[in-house]
A and B are shown apart, each in its own frame.
Chain A
Amino acid sequence: MREITYRQALNEALVEEMERDERVFLMGEDVGPYGGAYGVSKGLIEKFGEERVRDTAISEAAIIGAGLGAAMTGMRPIVEIMYIDFIGICMGQINNQVAKVRYMFGGKTKVPLVIRTEGGTGRTLGAHHSQSLESWFIHIPGIKVVMPATPYDAKGLLKTSIRDDNPILFIEHKMLYNRKGEVPESEYLVPVGEAEVKREGSGVTLITYSQMLFYCLEAAEELEKQGISVEIIDLRTLLPLDIQTIVESVKKTNRAIIVEEDCKTGGTGAEIGMQIMENAFDHLDAPIKRVAGADVPMPKSPNLEKLAIPSKEDIIKAVKEILGK
């Protein structure tokens, strides 16, 4: 099968869905001739024109608000927030408006809106361009939170998200854009809300998503050489959480470690861990562990930045600890 980058996969999803449905349009900062800060929308303005590929002012609140208004009145907007770090500026629009209008209005409106953004560390950009804020959003009923790791999932999930009648926060990762992976030429979709077992194993379940998937896969390779079998679940969607896939795996391995790039306190792992307790406590042979980011604003220095997020070694250490090895 051909291999393309995560960036190309996302670009293909945008092109295909815009060709398929003329109600779909893209709007955000520098999405036009510049092609998006990370190049995802390159070539789109040439293909679809500036009406459907709209460069906006630097006005995050109005970008989200206008996306919502357009979604409520018959369009299917994709709006881009360049860095998830800027999302605080439009948090009120997402939390109070986008996520709530359908419920507040008794189901009398739909919000087919995709908010594309990216987050995570890796480019030593410091505290305003490196955060992992997904846990803020799993606390907001009414939206869905999608975080693909592979090019295959990025394309399939973006296409599905665009066709979904619910608002979706689609969080890409800045260090994944250049990563290549197998993506079929023919059309396919990946369902929102379904996790996937990316590696089968028996000793312990690693539950992860986004960039940390690759850290886990590398750790698992090394652990295999040492005779330790690891199962890896890529959540792909954080809200709604596919707790069933997690529970099935925990029933098999009896041990769970959540590996996440965001700050540990109040992070996604806190919620996932609690849901495992509620749904699979009797199957656990050891306390659930978290390998998570440090509770600090992201520092600039490359060495500190690395220290602030989990490493392959941290994951290996946690696996050995949970197995008592």
Chain B
Amino acid sequence: MEIKKEEAVFLLKKMMQIRQFEDKIWELLSKNIAQGGSHLYAGEEAVAVGAISVLNPDDYITSTHRGHGHAIAKAGKLPELMAEILGKATGVCKGKGGSLHLADLSQGNLGANGVVGGSLGIATGAGLSIKLRGTKQLVVCFFGDGATNQGIFHESLNMAAKWSLPVVYLCENNLYGMSVSVKRASAVEDLTKKALAYDMPSENIDGMDILAVRKTVRKWVDFARDGKGPSFIVCDSYRYYGHSRSDAKVYRTREEEKFWKGRDPIILFGKKLIEENILQEEEIKGLESEVFDEIEQATKFAMESPLPKPEALYEDLYV
């Protein structure tokens, strides 16, 4: 395994941050401290962290309704993100966006989206903007398996392929669009086939293996940076929690959940690092407790932060 210790620690810690962040949100939801909904990313950490770790800071991403993981991986600050999810004035979007609309333009995160497939056009346009401005940036557009059945998915892939835009379309296939499985919703189960119609290179990989994600995404990132155009990657993955708080998960079996949790991306990567003698078990435990403290601090910050002032209601609507 060709990975430096420093880098391994960074990747492992980021994944731990996402996992513990999501577990904390679940706890806050259960206690009704966090209101509304939150679609949790736990289980899919290797995709966001792996893909974003090979990007430059000025590269863009677009995210999804299940966007906490992308926001954390794209240099999001845990306290600001937690505060945003609680609707606080100190949140990254001043409490106006919430879980479904985490965005940080200063870090190149063009935003999560409450509409499935809602950010595919935005990502394509950011790719066009890069081309017109003549920079070396690129876009990674995250979306789920459900989005591949939306019209704008096909419109965007067609447009990006025709214009050879620097966009990596990254599908997180977690097997279900809310409750309906890929099997039941999509005429093709192998989602990479959908890119064939646009003559776009595509690849299906194990989204639970962060090193596989990094390797593949890096390949297609280089491809885009070389001006060779867009690509389509399908990462097989699994969301541990249900679609949202109210989901009784009647559409999937406990055996299936057990199978995927047996391939947990954080445990898998940790084991590998121990096997390869890059990290010791104690160090991993140390990282876990470091992250635990960070999440506690972020939660404290968020809970103690004020709600937006009433005058904020009409702020930031127009320039």
- Tell whether, in the assembled complex, residue B128 and residue A96 are in contact, meaning their CB atoms are under 8 Å apart: no
User: Are A101 and B111 interface neighbours, CB within 8 A?
Assistant: yes
Is A96 in contact with B115, judged by CB distance below 8 angstroms?
yes
Q: Does A64 contact B (CB under 8 A)?
A: yes
Give the number of residue pairs across the A-B interface with Cβ within 8 Å: 142
| B214 at interface, CB cutoff 8 A | no
A interface residues, tally (CB under 8 Å): 41
> Which residue on chain A has the smallest CB distance to residue B165?
A66
Closest chain A residue, CB of each to CB of B123: A69
Q: Is B151 within 8 A of A106, CB to CB?
A: no
Q: B interface, how many residues as a size bin?
A: 35 or more
Task: Assess the B92–A142 pair: CB atoms within 8 A.
Answer: no
Chain A residues 88-147 with CB under 8 Å of chain B are 92-93, 96-97, 101-110, 141-142, 144
B319 touches A69 (CB 8 A): no
A1 within 8 A of partner (CB): no
Identify which of A51, A65, A104 contacts B96 (C-beta below 8 A): A104
Distance in Å: Cβ of B162 to nearest Cβ of chain A: 7
Chain B window 68-87, contacts with chain A (Cβ cutoff 8 Å), 1 for yes, 0 for no? 00000000000000000000
Contacts of B110 in A (CB 8 A): 69, 72-73, 109
| B158, A75: Cβ atoms closer than 8 Å | no
How far is the CB of B306 from the nearest CB of chain A, in Å? 15
- Proximity string of chain B (277-319) to chain A, C-beta cutoff 8 Å, 1 when within and 0 when not: 0000000000000000000000000000000000000011111
A75 and B133 in contact (CB under 8 A), knowing A69-B125, A102-B317?
A: yes
Q: Which of A4-12, A54-62, A245-253 contacts B (4 or more CB under 8 A)?
A: A54-62
Cβ A69 vs Cβ B105 within 8 A: no
Is B8 on the interface with A (CB-CB < 8 A)? no
| A276 to B: closest C-beta gap in Å | 23
A residues at B contact (CB < 8 Å): 25, 51-52, 56-57, 59, 61-62, 64-75, 77, 92-93, 96-97, 101-110, 141-142, 144, 164-166
Chain B residues near A (Cβ < 8 Å): 60, 62, 91-97, 101, 103-106, 110-111, 113-115, 118-130, 132-133, 151-152, 155-156, 158-159, 162, 315-319
